[in-house]
């Protein structure tokens, strides 16, 4: 069978990325230009700065990806691109670049929802086996998704307020940890002990999550300690906080897997890089006899490799778009 090469483009937030993936699972080449060093200065992503940098970098990133891959544009079957959700100015840059290539070289355009891309980061590691449960944990999302196959799925639960990555970043801010705080809190947590008392969020029968109460509890605790002139043990607080996050995510996920009788679990999104979460699920997988896998750390945060991987399955299913498609900053994954 002839190989299918998809060129993916990702610019939904602060990474400008292009990648070529073969048959939905084999990375040929990826280029990622991260703007993290720029946005760290402001304590978070500044949308206007993000889109200006995408404009500056996009042509270079696509050109370098193609040249270094040694794949000719004629061998590319389709152009996959993130159309939403994300920052509208950022999305537009990638989408316009993808449309231009699609028009000039007469290649089908495949719009990819950002959540779908994060899920397919798993397929680059190991072929996804259905039915499966996927826990999507990123800076913008916290969702449990039951997938019967590539295109038949059901959202089982989601956060009612903050996303888990957002909660990490906001807790980081009060602890003077630069954005993105998730990886630093994860490291600190492994050096501390859970000596601070924090509330378990939304400990109910639903499969939904809630992180704004936990975030406020941490912020209040830090302010109270400061007012009283008491010293704060950052490692212990990181450990206490992360333990609660891990407990809330794992307990609801395991309950959902039992209800839906699913034996495969995958993680998706930037927070899937978290060591504490991976370790707990590893233990639970052994105890409960299910298969657990997660993307390579380099595919957890935003990249075009996962866009091209997801784009392959959409392309094979004929889910292509006209050039009329617009960026959709609030695109729902339904």
Binding site for Zn ion (CB under 5 A): 138, 302
Piece in contact with ligand KG4 (CB under 6 A), picked from 37-45, 75-83, 249-257, 264-272: 264-272
Q: Is residue 270 within the footprint of ligand KG4 (CB under 6 A)? A: yes
Q: Is residue 111 within the footprint of ligand KG4 (CB under 6 A)? A: no
> Which of 122, 159, 210, 301: binder of ligand KG4 (CB under 6 A)?
301
> Which of 8, 24, 94, 180: binder of ligand KG4 (CB under 6 A)?
180
CA-to-CA separations, 162 to 103, 139, 200, 271, in angstroms, rounded: 39, 9, 15, 14
Q: Is residue 273 within the footprint of ligand KG4 (CB under 6 A)? A: yes
Q: How far is it, in rounded angstroms, from Cα 274 to Cα 71?
A: 34
Task: Report cis status (omega within 30 of 0) of the bond before 126.
Answer: no
> Which of 28, 186, 218, 315: binder of ligand KG4 (CB under 6 A)?
186
> Which of 111, 139, 295, 311: binder of ligand KG4 (CB under 6 A)?
139
> Could you identify the residue written with the tokens 């913008």?
140
Q: How far is it, in rounded angstroms, from Cα 155 to Cα 159?
A: 11
Q: Give least dist CB 269 to ligand KG4, A.
A: 4
- CA-wise closest residue to 41 among 32, 55, 31, 53: 53
Q: For strand 109-113 and strand 76-84, is the pairing parallel, antiparallel, or unpaired?
A: parallel
> Maximum CA pair distance of the chain?
70
Piece in contact with ligand KG4 (CB under 6 A), picked from 44-52, 98-106, 165-173, 199-207: 165-173
Q: How far is it, in rounded angstroms, from Cα 134 to Cα 266?
A: 5
Task: State the residues that interact with ligand KG4 by CB under 6 A.
Answer: 13, 138-140, 165, 168-169, 180-183, 186, 269-271, 273-274, 301-302
């Amino acid at each position: 069978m002839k190989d299918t090469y998809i060129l993916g483009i990702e610019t939904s937030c602060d990474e400008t990325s292009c990648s070529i993936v073969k048959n939905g699972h084999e990375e040929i080449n990826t280029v990622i230009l991260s703007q993290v060093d720029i946005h760290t200065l402001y304590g978070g992503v500044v949308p206007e700065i993000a889109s200006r940098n995408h404009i500056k970098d996009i042509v270079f990133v696509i050109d370098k990806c193609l040249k270094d891959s040694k794949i000719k544009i004629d061998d590319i079957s389709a152009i996959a691109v993130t159309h939403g959700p994300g920052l509208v100015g950022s999305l537009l840059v990638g989408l316009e670049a993808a449309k231009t290539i699609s028009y000039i070289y007469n290649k089908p355009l495949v719009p990819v929802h950002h959540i779908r891309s994060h899920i397919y980061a798993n397929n680059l590691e190991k072929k996804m086996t259905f039915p499966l449960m996927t826990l999507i944990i990123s800076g913008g999302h916290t969702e449990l998704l039951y997938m019967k196959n590539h295109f038949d799925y059901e959202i089982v639960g989601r956060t009612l307020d903050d996303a888990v990555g957002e909660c990490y970043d906001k807790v980081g801010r009060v602890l003077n940890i630069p954005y993105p705080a998730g990886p630093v809190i994860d490291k600190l947590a492994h050096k501390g002990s859970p000596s601070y008392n924090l509330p378990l969020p939304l400990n109910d029968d639903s499969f939904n999550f809630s992180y704004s109460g936990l975030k406020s509890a941490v912020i209040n605790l830090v302010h109270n300690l400061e007012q009283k002139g008491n010293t704060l043990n950052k490692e212990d607080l990181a450990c206490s906080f992360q333990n609660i996050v891990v407990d809330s995510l794992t307990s609801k996920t395991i309950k959902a897997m039992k209800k839906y009788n699913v034996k495969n679990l995958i993680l998706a999104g930037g927070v899937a890089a978290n060591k504490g979460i991976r370790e707990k699920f590893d233990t639970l997988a052994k105890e409960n006899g299910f298969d657990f896998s997660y993307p390579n750390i380099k595919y957890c945060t935003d990249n075009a490799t996962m866009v091209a991987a997801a784009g392959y399955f959409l392309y094979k299913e004929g889910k292509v778009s006209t050039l009329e498609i617009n960026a959709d900053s609030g695109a729902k994954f339904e």
